[in-house]
């Protein structure tokens, strides 16, 4: 595979705004963790449980709606304005329908957490936070759809601009409502939920005003109302539902990891939470690169340029692995500094917690390297509208291999809580092998068609 500078240049021009946007968004969870650490160990543990519980319950909806960027990028490459407008319309229609069950699910999450064996003290801390977040689901869905639409058009810089505006507002509101600044009452953990909800409404209103005022979007908005009959809902489900289910399997796994850590003790929960904060931060770069691969490949596939799509995938794999290696080095060589930053004002004199977190970070760094390839391959297959196979591999890797292997490693080698990180890393390697085989097969079919149409 001979890659040119243009292959990397075109991909990087899409990826950099997405990476910066992703890092900015991830910083919210990171800063929220620092706020929770200032409230105390119980709040930090409850925040970990609530955030992973919320993500686990919502991820199917989010994954379903991210299909917007996949379809829009494909139709943009084919220069089909009417289809792009119809996708936007149908996505908003679908999002409005999904708001009701999503809100009810989050509002009534407490019995689910209790049923999963979580301590009453932790659940009681998490409930007000989840109730506050429930009021932000509608604007969250609207913002997600509009931003995915913009990304599908290849306008990733617009996405970055809105993220740069939204994140500081979110952090400021979280700080004000959590600690009671500027005359507001101190709401503790619930303040994080209300701050996030308020910022969702602000972002949604700004996006609606922006798109309504720009001429570049008017052809798509006009086309979206030419016919009121939904025509792309089935396509959104076909591409998005396997994505959402795959995300649910993976987020559900990490939520299960948090539950498993709870069986060991609070130190294990806190060490796992610190590790997950950095994993989420660094893997954000990979997800952004994978989405850039999806958009770039979508444009090329829409234009029937399968060679260009193939080169974009390989450029993405190289870029993603290289960036992840730099992040992994920080976890291997600077773990104490990372722990100190994450804990913020909390005392870091607990040697047992520090040692456990260093161990988790070292293993997680290896896992990130496998994730850089796995997620990028997922982005390439997503552009090829092959999302069912990624769902299958995620189920096998995370639930059929990682958890049983972690359990066996703990029983045989007594690695305790670290066993599950080792099992996760080994299962990730297997998943990469399967996804790469699938990508070669799917891409090969399209390259053969291109060679028949335009023989070299």
Inform me whether the pLDDT recorded for 269 exceeds 50: yes
pLDDT-derived band at 1, boundaries 50, 70, 90: low
For residue 166, the model assigns a pLDDT of 93
d(C-alpha 330, C-alpha 382), whole Å:
30
d(C-alpha 112, C-alpha 231), whole Å:
36
For residue 241, the model assigns a pLDDT of 87
pLDDT-derived band at 40, boundaries 50, 70, 90: confident
- Average pLDDT score over the chain: 86
Q: Model confidence over 29-38: pLDDT tens digits?
A: 777 777 877 7
Q: Model confidence over 81-97: pLDDT tens digits?
A: 988 999 999 999 999 99
Note whether 76 and 154 are within 8 A (CB): yes
Q: Model confidence over 193-202: pLDDT tens digits?
A: 899 999 999 9
Q: Where are the domains of the chain?
A: 5-453
For residue 348, the model assigns a pLDDT of 56
Tell me, yes or no, if the pTM score tops 0.85. no
For residue 267, the model assigns a pLDDT of 78
The whole-angstrom distance between residue 186's C-alpha and the CA centroid of its chain comes to 30
Using DSSP's 3-state secondary structure scheme, residue 174 falls into: helix
Q: Model confidence over 228-248: pLDDT tens digits?
A: 666 788 888 888 888 888 888
pLDDT-derived band at 455, boundaries 50, 70, 90: very low
Note whether 216 and 77 are within 8 A (CB): no
d(C-alpha 411, C-alpha 48), whole Å:
26
What's the chain's Rg over C-alpha atoms?
A: 22
Residue 391 to residues 62, 64, 244, 291, 386, Cα–Cα distance (Å): 15, 13, 9, 17, 10
pLDDT-derived band at 125, boundaries 50, 70, 90: confident
pLDDT-derived band at 456, boundaries 50, 70, 90: very low
d(C-alpha 192, C-alpha 129), whole Å:
7
d(C-alpha 116, C-alpha 110), whole Å:
10
Q: Model confidence over 365-404: pLDDT tens digits?
A: 999 999 999 999 999 999 998 888 988 998 999 899 998 9
> What is the Cβ-side half-sphere exposure of residue 13, based on CA atoms within 13 angstroms?
9
Higher pLDDT, 332 or 271: 332
Token pair of 132 as six digits: 């506050």
Residues making up the chain, counted from first to last:
456
d(C-alpha 77, C-alpha 418), whole Å:
46
- Which range of 58-67, 106-115, 117-126, 321-330 scores highest in mean pLDDT? It is 321-330
The DSSP secondary-structure symbol of 214 reads: -
> What is the Cβ-side half-sphere exposure of residue 17, based on CA atoms within 13 angstroms?
20
Region 144-169: what's the mean pLDDT? 93
For residue 46, the model assigns a pLDDT of 75
Residue 20 to residues 5, 25, 27, 177, 288, Cα–Cα distance (Å): 22, 9, 11, 26, 9
Residue 233 to residues 58, 71, 88, Cα–Cα distance (Å): 19, 11, 10
Region 7-22: what's the mean pLDDT? 90
φ, ψ for residue 183, nearest 5 deg: 90, -5
């Amino acid at each position: 595979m001979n890659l040119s500078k243009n292959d990397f240049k075109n991909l990087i021009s899409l990826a950099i705004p997405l990476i910066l946007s992703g890092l900015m968004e991830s910083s919210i969870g990171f800063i929220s963790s620092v706020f929770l650490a200032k409230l105390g160990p119980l709040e930090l543990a409850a925040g970990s449980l609530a955030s992973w519980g919320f993500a686990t319950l919502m991820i199917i909806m989010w994954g379903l709606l991210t299909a917007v960027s996949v379809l829009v990028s494909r139709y943009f490459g084919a220069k089909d304005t009417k289809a792009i407008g119809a996708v936007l319309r149908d996505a908003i229609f679908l999002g409005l329908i999904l708001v009701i069950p999503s809100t009810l699910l989050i509002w009534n999450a407490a019995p689910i957490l209790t049923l999963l064996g979580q301590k009453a003290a932790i659940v009681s801390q998490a409930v007000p936070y989840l109730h506050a977040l429930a009021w932000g689901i509608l604007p969250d869905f609207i913002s997600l759809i509009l931003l995915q639409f913009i990304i599908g058009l290849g306008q990733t810089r617009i996405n970055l601009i809105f993220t740069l505006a939204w994140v500081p507002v979110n952090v400021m509101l979280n700080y004000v409502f959590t600690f009671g600044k500027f005359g507001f009452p101190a709401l503790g953990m619930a303040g994080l939920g209300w701050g996030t909800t308020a910022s969702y409404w602000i972002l949604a209103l700004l996006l609606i005003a922006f798109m309504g005022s720009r001429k570049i979007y008017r052809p798509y908005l006009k086309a979206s109302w030419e016919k009121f009959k939904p025509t792309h809902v089935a396509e959104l489900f076909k591409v998005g539902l396997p994505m959402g289910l795959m995300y649910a399997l993976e987020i559900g796994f990490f939520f299960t990891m948090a539950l498993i850590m709870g069986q060991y003790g609070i130190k294990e929960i806190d060490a796992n939470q610190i590790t997950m904060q950095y994993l989420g931060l660094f893997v954000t770069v990979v997800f952004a690169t994978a989405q850039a691969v999806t958009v770039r490949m979508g444009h090329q596939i829409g234009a029937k340029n399968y060679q260009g799509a193939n080169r974009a995938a390989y450029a993405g794999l190289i870029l993603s692995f290289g960036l992840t290696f730099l992040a992994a080095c920080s976890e291997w060589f600077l773990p104490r500094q990372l722990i100190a930053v994450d804990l913020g004002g909390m005392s870091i004199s607990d040697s047992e917690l520090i040692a456990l977190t260093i161990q988790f970070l070292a293993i997680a760094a290896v896992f990130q390297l496998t994730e850089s390839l796995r997620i990028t391959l997922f982005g390439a297959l997503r552009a090829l509208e092959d999302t069912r196979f990624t769902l299958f591999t995620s189920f096998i890797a995370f639930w059929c291999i990682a958890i049983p292997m972690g359990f066996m490693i703990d029983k045989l080698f007594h690695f305790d809580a670290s066993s599950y990180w080792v099992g996760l890393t080994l299962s990730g390697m297997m998943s990469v092998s399967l996804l790469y085989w699938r990508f070669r097969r799917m891409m090969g079919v399209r390259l053969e068609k291109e060679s028949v149409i335009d023989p070299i």
